[in-house]
Each structure stands twice: as structure tokens, then as C-alpha cells.
Amino acid sequence: MTKDLTVGSPMRLILGFALPTLLGMVFQQFYNLVDAMIVGKLLGASALGAVGSTGSINFLVIGFCMGLCNGFVIPVAQRMGAGDYSRMRRYVANAAYLSAAFALVMTVATCLLCKRILTVTLTPEDIFTDAFVYIFIIFLGIPTTFLYNLLAGVIRSLGDSKTPVYFLALSSFLNILLDFILILRFDAGVAGAAIATVAAQGVSGLACLGYMVKKYPILRMSREERRLDGRACLTLCGQGIPMGLQYSITAIGSIILQASVNTLGSLYVAGVTAGTKVYQLICCPFDAMGATMATYCGQNAGAVKLDRLGKGIKACSILGLGYSLLSLAVMLVLAPQFVMLFLSSKEAELALLVELSTQYILVGATFFFPLALVNIVRFSIQGMGYSVFAILAGVLEMAARTGVGVLLVPVLGYTAVCFASPAAWVAADLFLIPASLWCIKRLRRLHPAQAREEEGASHQPVPLKAGAGQG
């Protein structure tokens, strides 16, 4: 049930690992996408704008939860690569304790503060109530977010990227079913969409837990391995908190930008929301590449296979470039059709909504390769164990989005909104690319014997095949 990513062709391993991960992320996006489609089609653009206006706040909090979980499993992947299974199990147990504690504190804090946050971000008055109801229920479901993301991350760290997909597929269909039941039959509005999302996430998390208990003997722990370990918790927090903060710092820029969008009116909020939902769907491969590189680099760093780190980043970047060009070509032709997945044909200002959303998508799609590099390089660095760099990259993204939101949106209006995320991606790349080179050099200095061995192997002459060179 596990997979060793320290041996074999990096391109083949990355592609084979990323495809199941991609399917899982596509199913995971169904939570938000189906909500948006059903809300937009059945409840109208106002309700869609209410859900969309909470997107940056959602990213701030839920992104922190996901970042924590992704960071917690980095030591698990490293110990897996090193073959230190006892220490790996100790990390898994302590990651569970930390996740439970963070889930409790964050659920209470966010539910108490969410109305104030919506007020500070200038949520339009005509959608304020629906926005509050939706995000409050999502925050109540924070424990289910921790449950699924931690367990799925542990499974991927063991080299198994397929199993989480099966449970996400099941929960995605459940989410769709609950959306229709709660909104159409029980007239629950945006609250029904939020309840369906939380319930589906909980089902996928519980399914992962049950499967892990039965099918992964490598995770069966002794009493000593289950013990709360202060040093293990410090190591986990050292990886998890920087990754969580990276998500949240990035989200702060998004919140400031969202506040600027909110000043343009609910029509523009709905246009950005529809465009963002299309982003979430077509950008899933970039997220899958990032998750893959975290596991790949984690295992290879743990096994001290340093030469494979740069090769893996290069291979994945080639995949990212290819998909970026393909997705841009598709969006140039089909962006309006994608937008209509989230809008009702009965909208009074449908033509303007489609135009706004299409403009937002096409500007972003032009910069998809910088986005690909953000995911690939950042998660590679995190897999190597240098999660603090994620915070610095997040600060640059926040600064770029904040600068556009505060300085340019009041002057250039909606056009500036469209360029905000591309500016953030480019700013992050300017830091992350040289940082990744530094991290690999740092690991080589920490493991000089292995570095010399790999360098010597790379200079060995390649033996000629029989008959080669004869003419």
C-alpha cells in the first residue's frame, strides 16, 4: 500500500503519483464548485456573491488548517524515506494530538469573530446575512477539515496517492445529493450548501480513518509510539505552523483585495466569484503537482538522495509548463462556457457578468506557468524541511495583492483586480526559485559525503554498448 519515491525515473514517479492526487483534488473541489453552481443556478447571483464574498476569509482560516496538516506530514514522509518507521508512527500520533487541539481552538475563535470579520472586509449589505450564515457553518466544520486533510496527508506521505481519491469521490456525490435535498426540498438556502460541504468532508475523513486502521499495518503503534512527545510536537509545529501561516498571510492579501472588490458592488463580487470558481477547477493540476513534490522531496531528503531533488523539480516544471499552455488555449476558446456553469441564464445582467468573469479568467490564465512554479517550488522546499521560506513567499504574495488592492483598484477599477493574483505569483517566484537552489546547496553541505558520492557518480563515463562508436 506504500510507494518508494526515492528510486526510479523522477518524471515517471511524479506523473504516476500526481494523477491520482489530481483526481482527488478535482473531487475535493466539487465541495465548493457544486455549492457555487447550485447556489448560482437556484438562488441567483446575489446568493452566489454572498458565498463568494467569504472566499478570502475561508482561505484565511481553512487554508491555515490545510497548511498545518501539510506541514505535519512532512516529517512523516522524511522518516518514511529514511526507513525509520517507529519515529514515523510517533510523528503520526503526535500530529493527531496537535490537530485536535488546533481544531478546537480555531473553531471557537472563528465562530465568535466571523461577523466582525465580514464587517471589516466591507461585505455589501444586501448579501451580508447570507455571507454570515454560510461562513459560520463552514467554520463549525473546521474539525472535519483537520480530520480529512491530516489523514489524507499521512496516506500520501506513505506513497499512496490513490486511496484518498476513492473516499473523496464518495463524499463528492454525497455533497451533490445533500445540496439538492437541502436547497430544493427543505429550502435551506446558502445554509444548506454549507451543511452539505461540512457533512461531505466529515464522511471522507471518517472513511480515511476506518481504512487506515484496517489496511495499514505500518501505522499500528505501540503504547510508547502513541505517547505524547514534546520534541516530536516541536518538530511538527516547526513544519506545520510556517506552512499554515504561509496560507494565512497569503489570504490576508486576498482579504484586502476582496474588500476593494466589495466597494465595486455585488455585481463585480459575483463576477469575480464565478471566475474564481473556474480557477479552482482548472488549477487543480497545479495543486496536485505541489502535493506530489512535497512527498517526493520529503522522501528523497529523508533518504539523502540529494541529486534527485533538482531532477524532480525540473521534471515537474516541464509538466507544469505543458499544462499551463494547454489550459490557456482551452480558456481562450471556452471561458464563457465555463462561467455559465455558475450563472443562471435568467440573470438580468447576464452579459456583463459573463464579460467580467471571462476577463478575470483570461488574465489569470496568461500567468498560469508562474502559478505552477509557485506550487511546485514552494512545496518542494517544504518537503526538504525548510518550511519557514513558505512564510516569506506568502509575505510577498500578500504585499503584491495588498498593493494592487489598495493602490491600483481605486484608480484602475476591475482591470486591476484581474492582475492582482498574477502579480502575487510572479512576486513569490522571484523569491522561491533562488531559495530552492539555496536549500539544495544547504542539504549538500549538511551531507558532504553523499554529495561527493553523487557528484562522482555523475562524472563516471557511460559504458558504450557493444558495437557503439564503430564505423
- Retrieve residue 391's grid coordinates: 512564510
Cell 463580487 sits at which residue? 269
User: Does 450 fall in a domain?
Assistant: yes
pLDDT digits (tens, 9 = 90+) for 341-390: 767 666 667 788 888 889 999 999 999 999 999 999 999 998 898 878 87
- Examine the pLDDT at 53 and tell me if it is beyond 60: yes
* 121 SS3 class: coil
Predicted pLDDT of residue 348: 62
Contact of 390 with 246, CB cutoff 8 Å: yes
User: Does 379 fall in a domain?
Assistant: yes
Question: What does the buried/exposed string (b/e) look like for 15-35 if buried means 16 or more CB atoms within 10 Å of the residue's CB?
Answer: ebbbbbbbbbbbbbbbbbbbb
- Retrieve residue 398's grid coordinates: 500578500
User: Does 464 fall in a domain?
Assistant: no
- Examine the pLDDT at 337 and tell me if it is beyond 90: no
Contact of 155 with 164, CB cutoff 8 Å: yes
* 39 SS3 class: helix
- Retrieve residue 448's grid coordinates: 558532504
Q: What distance in Å separates the CA atoms of residue 7 and residue 4, rounded to the nearest whole number?
A: 7
User: Does 469 fall in a domain?
Assistant: no
Confidence class for position 29, pLDDT limits 50, 70, 90? low
Predicted pLDDT of residue 31: 60
Element housing 428 (H / E): helix 414-446
User: Does 463 fall in a domain?
Assistant: no
Count of domains for the chain: 1
Q: What distance in Å separates the CA atoms of residue 42 and residue 301, rounded to the nearest whole number?
A: 50
- Retrieve residue 347's grid coordinates: 440573470
User: Does 297 fall in a domain?
Assistant: yes
Contact of 333 with 342, CB cutoff 8 Å: no
pLDDT digits (tens, 9 = 90+) for 422-463: 999 999 999 999 999 999 999 988 888 776 666 665 555 544
Which residues lie below 8 Å from residue 213, measured CB to CB, with a gap of 6+? none
- Examine the pLDDT at 84 and tell me if it is beyond 80: yes
- What length is written for the chain? 471
User: Does 139 fall in a domain?
Assistant: yes
User: Does 460 fall in a domain?
Assistant: no
**Domain of 421?**
10-454
Predicted pLDDT of residue 431: 95
Average confidence (pLDDT) over 19-44? 71
- Retrieve residue 114's grid coordinates: 466571523
The reported pTM is 0.72
pLDDT digits (tens, 9 = 90+) for 206-252: 988 998 888 888 888 999 999 999 999 999 998 888 888 877 777 77
